[in-house]
Amino acid sequence: MSTLLKAAPAPGTTPGTSQGPPGPRRTALLPTAALLLGALYCLLPVAWVLVASTKSGTELFSTFTFLPGTGFADNLADLGAYRDGIYWRWMANSALYAGLGALLSTIVSALSGYALALYRFRGREAVFNVILAGVLMPPVILAIPQYLLMAKAGMTDSYLSVLLPLILSPYGVYLGRIYAGAAIPTELVEAGRVDGAGEWRIFLRIAVPMMSPGLVTIFLFQFVAIWNNFLLPFIMLGDDEKFPMTVGLFTLLSQGSNTPALYTLVITGALLAIVPLIALFLVVQRFWSLDLLSGAVKS
Amino acid sequence: MSHTLHRRLAATATAVALGATALTACGSSGGDDQADSGPVSLTYWAWAPGMDKVADLWNKKNPDIKVTVKKQAAGDDLVAKIITASKAHQAPDLVQAEYQALPTLVSNDALADISREIGDTEKEFAPGVWQQTTLGTDAVYAVPQDSGPMMFYYREDLFKQYGLSAPTTWDDFAKTARALKKKAPDKALTTFSSNDSGLFAGLAQQAGAQWWTVDGDKWKVGIDDPATRKVADFWGGLVKEGAVDNQPMYTPAWNKALNTGKQIAWVSAVWAPGTLTTAAPETKGKWAMAPLPQWTKGDNATGSWGGSTTAVTTDSRHKAAAAKFATWLNTDPQALAALVKESGIYPAATAAQTSGALAEAPDFFANQPDFYMRAAAIAKTTAPASWGPNVNVAYTAFKDKFAHAAKTRSGFGAALTAMRDATVADLKKQGFEVAP
């Protein structure tokens, strides 16, 4: 992304003039190399998972690391057959937690971000600062207090116990305010008021469409965060029928010292677990690439 | 990741604790049971594979007491999860817990004393095993399920090829390691692994170490005692001179070393055949099992590595029913046969160790048909073990300190002292009195 920006000539300048770099198409070698290294660093483990999932149990640790094996179909069948297909149940649970959780969280973030950006009220900055502090707080350390609170309400070991704590995301609210502040001109809101639209109508008809690229970002962030979340469901849930995939696969890895870990199943399961994420990104991408400021008012 | 997670969990669980109580003062009387009349529903957190199928056997025969298994991931994380749930009074009725986790759970008031409910179950188990569930008190906090008597495994074919024989003493063991290095410098007899504290604890147990003992109402920590020091110096010396490898177990590299015969022996426990089946599939039928080498010629002792129990929690509202199930699960011949078949455990009940369920040697050891007969004889020689309320802290300290010492091949003396100090400091921090 940034190499692209660098390579393109800045608007208003004529390429090839004596100032600046001589050629418009010269690639910056060092940044490109650094980015390539970074990409390799991120993609190599994925490639490993891809290759390892094709290996049968006997091939996994004995053949060359990046040599594809012959057991992919068997691994898939074994994973599907493991405890009567509980993996698919975990997958469905993950989809529920991540899908519904991200949706609710996006709604809350949009509402509160919009309110914080466009309404002036006493304590606005104080509220926003508290939320900012919440961004700095890793969700991990909240898991046990949240568990104890849920226990007081008698709600542990339920779907709600995992969903509820995920709905309010400080980071989402923070992003919501930034996007709302950047994308919605106050003039537009005021024009709506002058025309007699109610506050709800202004929010739903004017603000939400303008914020939508930002909301998609919040949704994706939250979806990925919940999809990968481990500690909260690990603490909250005792019933393995309600586990999301992360916690479920963990039970395959630690089966006690006298039982070997089911590596092939875990690796195949991990591979399948990233497929929905990739699909989601591909589908949502087109809503996402819109310019934040492609709005109604040009300044 | 799991390392940091574990630490975080452990730290938070400790912070949540309402205050540590001395061992003698805890455990609940369990006298406030609701009357166990009418159908009772119990939940059971366990990690052993196939446990739900074993519970189904019980449910068919006992429609009044329905047990639902909720499968969990094994390990220290589960102990933290049980303690957290117990603080919120949300723990399940029954939990699977490793022997060394029992004092931690008991000192957090998570486990109920079931001595009155289980009758004379004690006679079904070896005294060294049973004593770990009473913690040296009159109470009984769990029923033993499986045990892991330690043994020496070696590649029979390669031992023959290099003119070696299975060592009977640790002196022999050192000589064997050096002899192999001389004949085949690229091979090693075995490795000293710092990533599973249970192995080191078992070796110390064999040497007669008592890591935690109660002295009056104080804890006495013996991690630095002469027996443990002997074990640490022995292995530290072997690692230092390069006679054995210093790489951790259970890694792909370790699997490969076993599979290709780069390492030709493994100090392990009765469950090793299962691990070898996946770690070194191409060596099937080439291994043999022998008793652990002894410190003094003619001695006959072994340690234990792994093994777990079934415990009833203080939160259970049906303790009598839960204790009844725990007893059935771990002493009834039909239940034990199912546990062997479905969960692949090595039963702690002595009668089951020579029963029909274990008549045949494991598939991987088909060349040693009397595998389980010999295992049962070895199991009888298990030295007593003694665990304290912060085994997890000692184990983490072991992993940190010994990993560094093994990597730098610098001897284990300082690491052992550091492990003891960390354990004592944590006990004091938790509010326990520690005898000097």
Convert the pLDDT of each residue in B329-385 to its tens digit.
999 999 999 999 888 889 999 999 988 888 889 989 999 999 999 999 999 899 988
Is the pLDDT score of A281 beyond 80?
Answer: yes
CB contact residues (below 8 A), chain A span 116-145, against chain B: 140-141, 144
Chain A environment of B9 (Cβ under 8 Å): 231
Q: Which of A144, A239, A250 sits opposite B73 (nearest CB)?
A: A250
In sequence order, what DSSP letters do the residues of A213-259 get, joined into one string?
Answer: HHHHHHHHHHHHHHHH--HHHHHH---TTS--HHHHHHHHH---TTS
- Let me know if residue A42 belongs to a domain: no
- Let me know if residue B372 belongs to a domain: no
B89 and B136 housed in the same domain = yes
- Let me know if residue B436 belongs to a domain: no
Q: Tell me if B336 sits within 8 A of B125, measured CB to CB.
A: no
Q: Do A259 and B274 touch (CB under 8 A)?
A: yes
Going by C-alpha positions, the residue among B428, B431, B419 that lies closest to residue B393 is B419
B407 and B320 housed in the same domain = no
Please state the domain count of chain B: 2
Q: Which of B198, B252, B345 sits opposite A61 (nearest CB)?
A: B252
Chain segment A50-99, per-residue pLDDT in tens: 999 998 877 777 778 888 888 899 999 999 999 889 999 999 999 999 99
- Let me know if residue A60 belongs to a domain: no
Chain B environment of A82 (Cβ under 8 Å): none
Q: Which of A156, A255, A260 sits opposite B74 (nearest CB)?
A: A255
B197 and B175 housed in the same domain = yes
CB contact residues (below 8 A), chain A span 237-266, against chain B: 238-240, 247, 250-251, 253-260, 263
Confidence of residue B253 (pLDDT cuts 50, 70, 90): confident
Chain B environment of A258 (Cβ under 8 Å): 146, 148, 269-271, 274, 306, 344-346
- Let me know if residue B419 belongs to a domain: yes
Q: Do A62 and B275 touch (CB under 8 A)?
A: no
Chain B environment of A259 (Cβ under 8 Å): 48-49, 271, 274, 343-344
Q: Tell me if B271 sits within 8 A of B346, measured CB to CB.
A: yes
- Let me know if residue B125 belongs to a domain: yes
Sorted by sequence, the CB contacts under 8 Å of residue B200 that are 6+ apart come out as B231, B232, B398, B402
Q: Do B198 and A257 touch (CB under 8 A)?
A: yes
- Once rounded to an integer, what is the mean pLDDT over residues B188-206? 93
Residue B352, min C-alpha distance to chain A (Å):
17
Partnered with residue B218 across adjacent β-strands are B215
B213 and B287 housed in the same domain = yes
Q: How far is CA A163 from CA A118, A156, A198, A238, B84, in A?
A: 29, 11, 31, 15, 20
Please report the pLDDT score of residue B137 as a whole number. 85
Chain A environment of B146 (Cβ under 8 Å): 258
A246 to chain B: closest CA residue: B73
B293 and B282 housed in the same domain = yes
CB contact residues (below 8 A), chain B span 328-347, against chain A: 343-346
Q: Do A258 and B278 touch (CB under 8 A)?
A: no
B197 and B101 housed in the same domain = no
- Once rounded to an integer, what is the mean pLDDT over residues B285-293? 96
Write the CATH number for B108: 3.40.190.10
Please state the domain count of chain A: 1
Please report the pLDDT score of residue A229 as a whole number. 92
Is the pLDDT score of B16 beyond 70?
Answer: no
Partnered with residue B272 across adjacent β-strands are none
Average pLDDT over chain A, rounded to whole? Answer: 85
Chain segment B386-397, per-residue pLDDT in tens: 899 999 899 999
- Let me know if residue A160 belongs to a domain: yes
B135 and B158 housed in the same domain = no
- Let me know if residue A25 belongs to a domain: no
- Let me know if residue A191 belongs to a domain: yes
Chain segment B254-279, per-residue pLDDT in tens: 988 999 999 999 999 999 998 898 88
Sorted by sequence, the CB contacts under 8 Å of residue B130 that are 6+ apart come out as B122, B144
B354 and B392 housed in the same domain = no
Sorted by sequence, the CB contacts under 8 Å of residue B325 that are 6+ apart come out as B42, B44, B58, B62, B65, B67, B94, B310
B9 and B77 housed in the same domain = yes
Which residues constitute the domain of residue B267? 149-303+387-429
- Let me know if residue B82 belongs to a domain: yes
Q: Best residue in B4, B7, B83, B278 to probe A by mutation, most A CBs within 10 Å?
A: B278
Confidence of residue A24 (pLDDT cuts 50, 70, 90): low
Which position has the higher pLDDT, B245 or A295?
B245
B11 to chain A: closest CA residue: A141
**Measured distance CA(B407)–CA(A243) in Å, rounded:** 38
- Let me know if residue A175 belongs to a domain: yes
- Let me know if residue B80 belongs to a domain: yes
What is the pTM for the complete model shown? 0.83
Confidence of residue B5 (pLDDT cuts 50, 70, 90): very low
Q: Which of A144, A235, A257 sits opposite B306 (nearest CB)?
A: A257
Is the pLDDT score of B30 beyond 70?
Answer: no
Is the pLDDT score of B65 beyond 90?
Answer: yes
Q: Which of A140, A151, A258 sits opposite B346 (nearest CB)?
A: A258
Average pLDDT over chain B, rounded to whole? Answer: 88
Q: Do B88 and A151 touch (CB under 8 A)?
A: yes
**Measured distance CA(B404)–CA(B412) in Å, rounded:** 9
Is the pLDDT score of A180 beyond 50?
Answer: yes
Chain A environment of B72 (Cβ under 8 Å): 238, 240, 251
Chain A environment of B16 (Cβ under 8 Å): 144, 148
Chain segment B38-54, per-residue pLDDT in tens: 789 999 999 998 899 99
**DSSP assignment, residue B336?**
H
CA torsion, ordered B335, B340, B343, B348, to nearest 10 deg: 80
Please report the pLDDT score of residue B215 as a whole number. 82
Please report the pLDDT score of residue B23 as a whole number. 37
Q: Tell me if B309 sits within 8 A of B98, measured CB to CB.
A: yes
Please report the pLDDT score of residue A25 as a whole number. 65
Which residues constitute the domain of residue A179? 80-288
Q: What single letter denotes the amino acid at residue A145?
A: P
- Let me know if residue A18 belongs to a domain: no
- Let me know if residue B122 belongs to a domain: yes
**What percentage of residues in chain B have a pLDDT greater than 70?**
92
Which position has the higher pLDDT, B357 or A9?
B357
**Measured distance CA(B215)–CA(B427) in Å, rounded:** 14
Write the CATH number for A207: 1.10.3720.10
Please report the pLDDT score of residue A6 as a whole number. 43
Chain segment A207-261, per-residue pLDDT in tens: 999 888 889 989 999 999 999 999 999 999 999 999 999 999 999 888 776 676 7
- Let me know if residue B381 belongs to a domain: no
Confidence of residue A22 (pLDDT cuts 50, 70, 90): low
